[in-house]
Structure 1
Amino acid sequence: MAKAIRISRNGGPEVMEYVDVEVPEPLPGEVRIRQEACGLNFIDVYHRNGSYQQPLPGGLGLEASGTVMSVGAGVPHLQVGDRVAYAGGPIGAYASERTMPAAMVVKLPDGIGFETAAAMMLQGLTVQYLFRRTFLLRGGETILFHAAAGGVGLIACQWARALGVTMIGTVSSDEKAELALASGCAHVINTRRENFVERVRQITGGRGVPVVYDGVGKDTFTGSLDCLARLGTMVSFGNASGVVPPFALSELSSRGSLFITRPTMFDYTARREDLDAMAAELFYMVGSGQVKPDIRQRYPLAEVARSHQDLEARRTTGSTILLP
């Protein structure tokens, strides 16, 4: 028997149950993994509270690392004993063991440990597609990135620095500001004390930025539009503060013919060749030392409720992992 987190209804952290589960042997195209670490991400909260619907009863979690225990037929790229990681569906990564579609699983380079892998896969692949595909950064741009001291944000700080991009980041405390600056953010705005729209305009000499990366959602959406230069792009990739309400398309034209997109990683990794290319770039950035995932919280899997409480209360910084 393995241990896993299951929910039978949507709600607060209290709906998560730590239970015994039987893990089936892999069918063709699947692998069974003994998991060493699981990633904690805000999308897990959306699945738990019902903001993003999933069939119930079900599991939680999209990211983990571990060792392949058995391999189903038709899996040429993995074998028993391989060190692996994944980020993406199906939901259910909060577990000590699980069976996964092999198409979602990548082999880890020798220099990347299990905890680092669990802390970086979903967040690192998110930064990869945001910076390299959704809006291609070539170097020299000035960008705005919200929640710069979170798990995704701190990776973004480092990646932007490596690309030669000037990143303006928003944070909610002085402690988080110090973290973002130390990680490569060029300008940090503490939104508890400063108006981020006014500060972005000051920093850019009134021009605004060509792109805003906004994972906060409702609370920052309109202000993010106001930070964009003419023909700028709004990348709304999350809604930590709530879902962005409907808005008129005239809001884009009145601000200078803006573009907007609402991407998800699952579309960017739907093809195996894309996942391989994205993972290869992430592994290079981490292996070369240009990006160092910062694990600042570790929780036993049995204490997952506490981890969700801390995440939603903004008591976490950097990356968080759960240990089965």
Structure 2
Amino acid sequence: MKSIIFEQTGKPADILKATEIPMPEPGPNEVRIKVIASPINPSDITFVQNLYGIRPHLPSGAGFEGVGIVDALGEGVQMRTGMRVSFTSIGTWSEYAIAHQRSLIPVPDAISDDVAAQLFVNPFTAYAMVQDSGVPEGGWLMLTAAGSAFGKMVIQLCKMRGINTIGTVRRDDLNNDLKALGLTEVINIETESLTTRVKQITDGAGVSCVLDAVGGHTATESLKCLAKGGTMIIYGVLSLQDPAINAGLLIFRELTLKGFWLTDWMRRVDSQTRQDVAQNVISLLASGKIQLPVEASYALDQITEAVEHAERHGRWGKILVKPS
């Protein structure tokens, strides 16, 4: 079978290649899945570069989530083959993948393959982080890199909850689309002062929470936008630079600065919470209340073009890898 493999870490476009490997067999509590589609997420890119929270064991497969059909069961698995499932694993950019049965989420018919491929990483992270933000109805939440797939999910969730949102962008070509999704205010950090605009928008109060994916200078400036007692949650470092932390701000505004990693959140919360989030996410996606657009799909042999497209600025939708 064909799978995307890398033998050394580095820039994805330079090192990823479609490779013929033996068909994998599921072990105890595992299933084999015939992959239909898998998204390219920022976490996938950083994993290939050896910059993620878990390190690749070389040679390694790539891709963390996808949708597919269960076609073989390992010992101890009590389910039927032929089910369409969303799943997480390492190596989902492949014709077939092995996944632990605990990672499987049965997909209702109302959810398309393109949406089901993205069901876990961004929706679960967005839902969990909006919950953790503690921003009440009528309050202000700010998110950096608002044009990302994750940002769009947060915007839509906040609109449903009556939370006002400020989103940062570096280009203005997506502003109208983001506003249409429910973004309250947009700030172009290339042409406007972030701190000045946030003060204007919030009548000098600042925002209750910032969700930051960028790090570096953007995170440094975003910290200054927090209201007294506010919280910044960092879930990515797209700039590959650490923010400069002003200790005085933390002390005198009583600010909280913390990180978020979905893997740890899933381990931390109880099974009932995980099930509740899954049911809520599936309900929102199945009803069409939350949109997860796809910009383009690529075959395994086109992986170089696919990752280059995924890292392109100004994308509106997710890039998918489809084995067939």
Q: TM class by shorter-chain length?
A: over 0.9
Which residue type is aligned with residue 35 of structure 1?
Answer: V
Compared CA separation, residues 25 and 108, structure 1 to 2 (3 A): same
1:43 is matched with 43
Tell me whether 1:268 sits opposite 2:268 in the alignment.
no
SS in 2 for 1:162: helix
How do residues 1-324 of structure 1 correspond to structure 2 at under 5 angstroms?
2-12=1-11, 13-52=13-52, 53-76=55-78, 78-87=79-88, 90-132=89-131, 134-244=132-242, 247=245, 249-254=247-252, 256-270=253-267, 272-324=271-323
Compared CA separation, residues 56 and 292, structure 1 to 2 (3 A): same
Structure 2, unaligned runs of 5 or more:
none
CA distance, structure 1, for counterparts of residue 46 and residue 249 of structure 2 = 27
Q: Which sits farther off after the overlay, 300-309 or 55-64?
A: 300-309
Structure 1, unaligned runs of 5 or more:
none
CA distance, structure 2, for counterparts of residue 183 and residue 246 of structure 1 = 32
CA distance, structure 1, for counterparts of residue 216 and residue 243 of structure 2 = 7
User: Aligned-pair distance for 1:74?
Assistant: 2.4
Q: Which sits farther off after the overlay, 47-56 or 139-148?
A: 47-56
SS in 2 for 1:175: coil
User: Aligned-pair distance for 1:272?
Assistant: 4.6
Which residue type is aligned with residue 197 of structure 1?
Answer: T
Which residue type is aligned with residue 127 of structure 1?
Answer: A
Q: Which sits farther off after the overlay, 205-214 or 276-285?
A: 276-285
Which residue type is aligned with residue 297 of structure 1?
Answer: A
Compared CA separation, residues 281 and 289, structure 1 to 2 (3 A): same
Compared CA separation, residues 122 and 240, structure 1 to 2 (3 A): same
User: Aligned-pair distance for 1:9?
Assistant: 0.8
Compared CA separation, residues 94 and 318, structure 1 to 2 (3 A): same
CA distance, structure 2, for counterparts of residue 233 and residue 315 of structure 1 = 28
Compared CA separation, residues 245 and 200, structure 1 to 2 (3 A): closer
SS in 2 for 1:307: helix
Q: What are the Cα deviations for residues 200-243 of structure 1, in whole angstroms up to 9, with x where unaligned?
A: 11100111001000011123111110010001000001011114
CA distance, structure 2, for counterparts of residue 273 and residue 75 of structure 1 = 21
TM normalised by structure 1 equals 0.92
Which residue type is aligned with residue 175 of structure 1?
Answer: D
User: Aligned-pair distance for 1:249?
Assistant: 4.7
SS in 1 for 2:177: helix
TM normalised by structure 2 equals 0.92
User: Aligned-pair distance for 1:298?
Assistant: 1.9
Compared CA separation, residues 120 and 243, structure 1 to 2 (3 A): farther
Using the aligned pairs only, state the percent identity: 28
User: Aligned-pair distance for 1:299?
Assistant: 2.1
CA distance, structure 2, for counterparts of residue 311 and residue 107 of structure 1 = 27
User: Aligned-pair distance for 1:156?
Assistant: 1.2
Q: What are the Cα deviations for residues 250-281 of structure 1, in whole angstroms up to 9, with x where unaligned?
A: 55114x01001111001122265443222111
Count matched residues: 318
Q: Which sits farther off after the overlay, 32-41 or 241-250?
A: 241-250
Q: Is the contact between residue 309 and residue 319 of structure 2 (CA under 8 Å) also seen in structure 1? A: no
SS in 1 for 2:173: helix
CA distance, structure 2, for counterparts of residue 247 and residue 316 of structure 1 = 31
User: Aligned-pair distance for 1:300?
Assistant: 2.1
Which residue type is aligned with residue 84 of structure 2?
Answer: R
Cα RMSD after superposing both structures = 1.8
Compared CA separation, residues 246 and 108, structure 1 to 2 (3 A): same
CA distance, structure 2, for counterparts of residue 137 and residue 112 of structure 1 = 29
